[in-house]
Structure 1
Amino acid sequence: MDPLKALADAERKPYWLDSTAKPEPQPRLLGNTTADLAVVGGGFSGLWTALMAKERDPSRDVVLIEGRRIGWAASGRNGGFAMATLTHGLANGLERWPEEISTLERQGLANLDEIGQTVAKYDIDCGYERTGELVVATEPWQVEELHKNVEIAREMGLRFDILDQDQIRAEVHSPTYVGGSWERDGCAMVDPARLAWGLRQACLSLGVRIYERTPVRTMKDNGTSLDLLTPHGTVKADKVALGTGVFQPLLRRLRHFLVPVYDYALMTEPLSAEQLASVGWRNRQGIGDAANQFHYYRLTADNRILWGGYDAVYYNGGRIKPEYEQRDETFVKLAEHFSTTFPQLSELRFTHRWGGVIDTCSRFSAFYGQSHGGRLAYAVGYTGMGVGATRFGANIMLDLLNGEQTERTELRMVREKPLPFPPEPVRSAGIQMTRWSIAQADLQQGRRNLWLRTLDRMGLGFDS
């Protein structure tokens, strides 16, 4: 495959959002209004919060405010992996909360079950397929670590299969695979934009008032309400839930804990029946490889292959710019890697290429908290696994705002915060050193250098 030829006609926009199913926007906020609960952010975090707030209490007056369009950012640009994990994978959870990991895994599976139930209840057409995930080893050194994780998962009663080279290639045929595992229950494939639009419609059906193209500029606490000031009106709310991800938070303290990282993806044209047969993939699992710099890939409803990951790019200074959403160096690299993984698809072309920013924190999984005397709650830092985990985070925000002590709020994972990042320019230097070291570990049979081992001892544990 000539990567430049394969990319020549690829449109520079997210595939999922390039759809005739995209609904017309809800109106802007013009004038002033009040609400029992105001939700800021129209991605998965905000949508789940607004929906479940109304499900818990249909009489609650809920307003959702989105600065642009529902699902336009990370929620509409991701790979569509709805994962059960709440901890960015079992290994990360074991490293940080070993005494809670069984509870976290159980709650994560229940959360994914409930996502499927919500999709069915509101008849959301998002291609929901609970097919599980394959983790594929492409180097012999990765197999041992896979075996360790599967052994622990099985001890906790999770359905994991170990697959040898012949078995993994029987599932999906690639000459690069030397082994793998199949987590049977922990992942569902979705069209993320359609899921966001479906949740939007579910919210509207329950009476949530949604204002799109209405950025919140500032927030003021006047003692009796939290006032959200937008360009053409104000929302006076008794309580506020923040679901703004990495974008400039209304709480300044969150800036110390979050960094923006850009992730990139390609989408192929639909595979012919013959091309699909050459790959296999009859069980339509999501796939990730076991390297530190990993790829993720999956089939769409019309048998395209989404191919993303590997490069997680931090731009020095933590800047967020539209031009960062396109990075030809990464697109060419991804096309080359695709060709290596699936040489039998050498004639396939890409129809879309895009990137987007995700919110990353030092523990790689979401953290939660409150401010303003408990009247504001937040959940941020999902690090790219928020399609499923944002629903869990939304429940935590609602528990906190309602003053409820639940099994969720008692978790140490929920009560603790990650370590903050250092200020610039030390932040940029440290992140770039970490990215380089992770790449070197993949080239050195997984051996972690002094820098990564030091981060491990500090409890940062950068592994992807």
Structure 2
Amino acid sequence: MSPWPRTPPTAAHRAAYADAVRGSFWLDPASGVELPDPQPALRGETTADLCVVGGGFTGLWAALHAKRDDPDRDVVLLEGETCGFGGSGRNGGFCVASLTHGLGNGEARFADELAALERLGLENHAGLCADVERLGIDCELEHTGELTAAIEPGHDDELEEEAALLRRFGHEAVVLDRDAMRAQVRSEIFHGGVWDRTGASLVHPGKLALGLRRAALDAGVRIHEHTAAHDLRETADGVEILCAQGRVRARRAVLGTNAFPPLLREIRRYVVPVYDYVLMTEPLTPEQRASIGWEARQGIGDWANQFHYYRLTADDRILWGGYDAVYRWNGPVGPQHDDHDETFGRLSQHFFTQFPQLEGVRFSHRWGGAIDTCSRFSVFFGTACSGRVAYAAGYTGLGVGATRFGARVALDLADGRDTEATRLRYVRTKPLPFPPEPLRSVGIGLTRNRLAAADRNGGRRGLWLRTLDRLGLGFDS
């Protein structure tokens, strides 16, 4: 049985976040980030060798890859808000090597390529860490490994199988029984876990995004913030990207727009914007910190369909997010959806269920953001405009590390390079598309209901979920 209460959150649960700042902690100077002055919006017409659309991790890495390949290449980057504004500045800061949203998902969908994908993923993670050092980005990078926590009894065999799968692909994985898990992090709801010590780190995502922005500017990338691209057209010798007060004529383009409305209509079939919400505590006192243990500081995620993810920050706050995955009719994305009291109340209630010894702790920040969910849970790729435009989308919440790889592949596709990665079926194929409304909302609502039911029944998946599994249509929190 799930340990989470089925009663409504109390007034005390809601009071714990009532005064919280409504915005991402990672983009608040309180987190230690230095917010730069915005780069000027585009006015008039300009030309470039490469136009990158989107100033999140994918776009920034694509611009940096392009300049590293050819320092003389003229690169323009367009961002509708400011760099890091979207998912790149709102995530949990879990930087893992997997390109397939975990080995289990990878084995189910890309078993024949999984060895290559794991190797490429680990190489990409190592390359990201090396780039952070080379570029002088202080993003609080910690190599903690990642804990998957069983919050119900009876998962011993599954934990052993998960660890064996990790070891088969070169990971150092440790199975923890109930007592060992509770020795790592003091919570009575734990019944075991798997600690993957390989290719799993934590970062301050705001500092990473703004560090990449600074590095791109230093490399000569022309960045225009507050410049939303609203149309893309093929021309005789390239593409044209139209903005409210200007346009870019470029030979090539890379699109990294995450869950925001894409410039290419075809992407909309494959991406569903699902909202995720996060609470961040105030810094723990030394006594509070000692009461929970957590000396190894691992990032943690529940072994459940509706899961929480949580971690410590450099100043000993706890980030607590996930569980609900909120989809709205037609998938709107906008600031009006960043606050969701129903979910924040539930998150607060669950936090104090997990850590009752922290009663009285308050939350300093609360925020939400859209995740670019696709049916295979991992990034997919495509090209348009006679191959001059390439895109990467659908990271489904695990993009902090995978975006560096996704940007590399998208750039190679736009440039027509033949590489090991571009030859993979993983790159050459698309996920199954989501149906149009109203079937989309009905299907997602039913799936969420059945996932919650599975969690209440020891993870046993009913007919609906088994059917989706056979079709390759994934969806969870």
In structure 2, what is the Cα distance between the partners aligned to 1:461 and 1:218? 30
What does residue 104 of structure 1 align with?
A: 117
Matching residue of 1:167: 180
Deviation string, structure 1 residues 161-218 (Cα, Å, up to 9, x no partner): 1111111111111111110011102211111111000000000111011000011121
CA contact (8 A) 1:270 1:304 kept: yes
* Alignment-derived partner of residue 349 in structure 1: 362
| Alignment-derived partner of residue 26 in structure 2 | 16
Query: SS in structure 2 opposite 1:97?
Result: helix
Within the candidate set 373, 394, 398, 1:385 is matched to 398
Letter in 2 for 1:412: R
Aligned runs of 1:32-51 on 2, under 5 Å? Answer: 32-51=45-64
Question: Secondary structure of 2:406's partner?
Answer: helix
2:43 aligned partner, one-letter code: L
The offset of 1:143, in angstroms, is: 3.4
State whether residues 77 and 221 of structure 2, in contact with CA within 8 Å, keep that contact through their aligned partners in structure 1. yes
Deviation at 1:463, TM superposition (A): 5.1
Q: Which 5+ residue runs of structure 1 have no aligned equivalent?
A: none
Aligned to 2:335: 322
1:82 to 63, 84, 95: 95
Q: Secondary structure at the match of 2:386?
A: helix
* 1:121 and 2:134 aligned: yes
* C-alpha contact 2:26 2:204 (8 A) present in aligned 1: yes
Distance 2:403 2:332 in 1: 24
CA deviation map 1:81-126 (0-9, x unaligned): 1111101111110100111111111111111111111110111111
2:325–2:476: 8 Å Cα contact kept in structure 1? no
Q: Which residue of 1 aligns with 2:237?
A: 224
Residue of structure 1 equivalent to 2:17: 7
Structure 2 counterparts to residues 65-464 of structure 1, below 5 A: 65-462=78-475, 464=477
Task: Give the 3-state SS of the residue equivalent to 1:22 in structure 2.
Answer: coil
Q: How much has 1:331 moved relative to structure 2?
A: 0.5
Structure 2 CA distance, aligned partners of 1:107 and 1:285? 23
Return the alpha-carbon distance in structure 2 between the equivalents of residues 59 and 325 of structure 1. 40
- The number of equivalent residue pairs is 464
| Greater Cα offset, 268-277 or 14-23 | 14-23
Deviation at 1:219, TM superposition (A): 1.4
Query: 1:386 is paired with a residue of what secondary structure?
Result: coil
Query: Given that residues 20 and 365 in structure 2 are in contact (C-alpha distance below 8 angstroms), is that contact kept between their aligned partners in structure 1?
Result: yes
Shift of 1:5: 2.2
Contact 2:259 2:333 in 1 (8 A): no
CA distance in 2, matches of 1:182, 1:43: 29
| Counterpart AA for 2:104 | A
SS of the aligned residue for 2:155 comes to: helix
Show CA shifts across 1:378-427 (max 9, x none).
00000000111010001101211222111111111111101111111011
* Contact 1:142/1:291, CA 8 A, preserved across alignment: no
Distance 1:372 1:251 in 2: 10
3-state SS of paired residue (2:187):
coil
Q: Distance in 1 between matches of 2:452 and 2:199?
A: 27
Q: Secondary structure at the match of 1:7?
A: coil
The separation in 2 between residues aligned to 1:442 and 1:414, in whole angstroms, is 32
Letter in 1 for 2:26: W
What CA deviation, in whole Å up to 9, does each residue of 1:326-378 have, x standing for no partner? 11111011011110111111121101111111111111111001111110000
Asked if the contact 1:456/1:462 (under 8 Å) is kept, the reply is no
Inter-partner Cα distance in structure 2 for 1:322 and 1:123: 32
How far apart are 1:316 and its partner, in Å? 2.0
In 1, Cα distance between the equivalents of 2:445 and 2:474? 15
Provide the C-alpha distance between the structure 1 equivalents of 2:362 and 2:307, rounded to a whole number of angstroms: 22
Instruction: Supply the AA of the counterpart residue of 2:270.
Output: F
Shift in Å at residue 291 of structure 1? Answer: 0.9
Corresponding residue number in structure 1 for 2:74: 61
- Residues in 2 aligned to 1:261 and 1:380: alpha-carbon distance in whole angstroms: 14
CA contact (8 A) 2:337 2:368 kept: yes
1:121-176 deviation per Cα after TM superposition (whole angstroms, max 9, x unaligned): 11111111111101110101333322211111112221111111111111111111
Distance 2:420 2:120 in 1: 9
Contact map agreement 1:261 1:359 (CA 8 A) in 2: yes
Moved more, 150-159 or 73-82: 150-159
Pair 1:45–1:323, CA change in 2 (3 A) = same
| Cα separation, 2, equivalents of 1:346 and 1:143 | 31
- Aligned CA RMSD, in angstroms, stands at 1.2
Instruction: State how far apart, in whole Å, the 1-side matches of 2:460 and 2:377 are.
Output: 21
Instruction: Note if contact 1:87-1:365 (Cα within 8 Å) is conserved in structure 2.
Output: yes
Cα distance between partner residues in 1 of 2:82 and 2:474: 35
- TM-score after normalising by structure 2: 0.95
Letter of the aligned partner of 1:411 in structure 2? L
Q: Deviations over 1:260-317 (max 9, x none)?
A: 1000000000011111111111111101010110000000010000000000111122
Separation of aligned partners in 2, 1:28 and 1:5: 40
Paired residue secondary structure (1:312): coil
Residues in 1 aligned to 2:46 and 2:288: alpha-carbon distance in whole angstroms: 55
Equivalent pair of 1:125/1:195 in contact (CA under 8 Å): yes
Aligned partners of 1:44, 1:109: CA distance in 2, in Å? 18
Secondary structure of 2:28's partner?
A: coil
